[in-house]
Structure 1
Amino acid sequence: MSDKVMPLNTAPRLGTFNGFGRTMLGKTRPDAEGACFATHWFTMLLPIWPLGRYYIKEGETVVVAGGRGASASTTQYVFLGRAELRMSEVIRTYLFFWVMAPLVVAGPVTLFGIDGDAFSRSHPITFLVLLIVIPIVCLIALAWMLVFHEKFLASARVPEWVGAGPANRSA
């Protein structure tokens, strides 16, 4: 499948602080050049509003250690062009972050808590450990599912340049 890509005048602003800000989500599988399509989102812990869709190359991620065990990471992107938003990708992102992630965390805790009174009284430490471990394991599994989707299941899209794309741009 191909997507129309238009030349880009300026790259969008990216950056989040404690989950608030702008980030890239919903990447497609990289093409032969290592570039992919991704949606630019405004986030407030969860994706709130799609701001645009871009054809990008993902660079290295730099992790900087902070004080008291904190750290920050920055992923470098090269923005190659702008594409039209795909509603299927927007809906899939909303479903993943607003439905699947809360269900994966709250579901096991709720099910475990429904009939957990007797177990919590007889094994309080085990009950607390399971109450904490189950959501963490589920979140890790969900994150791996997201990575697996981006690397192997997401459809490969080919850029179809409109206007002065990389192939016909003069230097």
Structure 2
Amino acid sequence: MPDKVRPLRAAPRLGTVNGFGRTMLGKTRVDAQGACFATRWFTVLMLPIRPLGRYYVKEGETVDVPGRGGSTTTTEYVFLGEAELRASEVIRTYLFCWLVVPLVVAGPVTLFGLNADAFSHEHPILFLLLLLGLPIVGIIALAWLLVLNEKFLAPLRVPRRVEAGPADRRP
């Protein structure tokens, strides 16, 4: 079933500072027009707290933006329309960010740390290498999960353009 896409009154504001702010998460697969649906979230420490809206967007290039403390990277979006939130996409984003990410990154380190008392005394260098290496392996695995999700696992949604309704028009 196609998703209804309404025209936008204005492009929503995005931006985070140290993980606090508004960002786009929960993207669907890119369609034939090169666009996808994505949900705008309020985040705390890059963890999604509340969905703020769902949009049909084209992802632009990622650019370096100079700032006071150095440069940061930002992804530019072209907003093509607004759609209704989908509960399945909201739940999928919550599960991924609040369950999968901590399990992949912190899970192995926690398990290793719980059983590492004797190991750390017998093989201290190997212990440090594993303690530092496990989160790196987890982050690499997480990056591959994100790529797999965007290319193959995320649902492909079809947009259906609709005109602005009476509630969307300004007097």
TM-score by length of 1: 0.89
Q: Secondary structure at the match of 1:81?
A: strand
**Aligned runs of 1:22-171 on 2, under 5 Å?**
22-45=22-45, 46-64=47-65, 71-163=71-163
Q: Is it true that 1:13 corresponds to 2:10 in the alignment?
A: no
Q: Secondary structure at the match of 2:85?
A: coil
Q: Secondary structure at the match of 2:163?
A: coil
Deviation at 1:147, TM superposition (A): 2.0
Deviation at 1:7, TM superposition (A): 0.8
Distance 1:65 1:21 in 2: 19
TM-score by length of 2: 0.89
Deviation at 1:101, TM superposition (A): 1.0
Distance 1:54 1:141 in 2: 28
| Structure 1 equivalent of residue 2 of structure 2 | 2
Assess if the C-alpha contact under 8 Å between 2:65 and 2:72 holds in 1: yes
Q: Which moved more, 1:131-140 or 1:79-88?
A: 131-140
CA RMSD of aligned residues (A): 1.7
Assess if the C-alpha contact under 8 Å between 1:26 and 1:150 holds in 2: no
Aligned length: 163
Distance 2:17 2:73 in 1: 11
Deviation at 1:66, TM superposition (A): 6.5
Deviation at 1:64, TM superposition (A): 4.1
Q: Which moved more, 1:152-161 or 1:45-54?
A: 152-161
Runs of 4+ more than 3 Å apart:
64-68
Assess if the C-alpha contact under 8 Å between 2:104 and 2:141 holds in 1: no
For structure 1, list consecutive stretches of 5 or more residues without a partner in the other structure: 165-171
Deviation at 1:143, TM superposition (A): 2.1
Deviation at 1:111, TM superposition (A): 1.5
Q: Secondary structure at the match of 2:136?
A: helix
Deviation at 1:140, TM superposition (A): 1.8
| Structure 2 equivalent of residue 169 of structure 1 | none
Assess if the C-alpha contact under 8 Å between 1:41 and 1:48 holds in 2: yes
Q: Secondary structure at the match of 2:77?
A: strand
Distance 1:27 1:156 in 2: 10
Deviation at 1:106, TM superposition (A): 2.4
Distance 1:83 1:61 in 2: 24
Q: Secondary structure at the match of 1:133?
A: helix
Deviation at 1:104, TM superposition (A): 1.6
